[in-house]
Amino acid sequence: FPFAIDTELVECPVCGDDYVHHASEPLVFPKGRGTCISLQFWCESGHAFSIQFSFHKGQVFIEIPEPSSFDPATPSQPELWRD
């Protein structure tokens, strides 16, 4: 999926919806010979996706893995509290 840092909004990579919610605490795990931080999101159209920042030898790589779907009729989607 193409990724551009020229907007103030995170948009769903599937449908372009900009009504996006962060789903959980960031996940941190080893990736290759470096570290990866994964931020989980879901949009109000029912797509779940993440944005991953991988670090290796002073370089930062941004990746959006293949999105998944969930049932929007589920009573509550996981979401971090916000004010």
Q: What's the pLDDT tens digit per position in 3-60?
A: 555 567 888 988 999 999 988 889 999 988 889 999 999 899 888 899 999 998 889 9
Sign of CA dihedral 54, 25, 80, 71: positive
pLDDT at 52: 93
Residue 70 has pLDDT above 70, yes or no: no
- 75 pLDDT band (50/70/90 cuts)? very low
What pLDDT does 33 receive?
Answer: 87
pTM to 2 decimals? 0.72
List all residues 6 or more positions away from 39 whose beta carbon is below 8 Å from its beta carbon: 22, 26, 50, 51, 52, 53
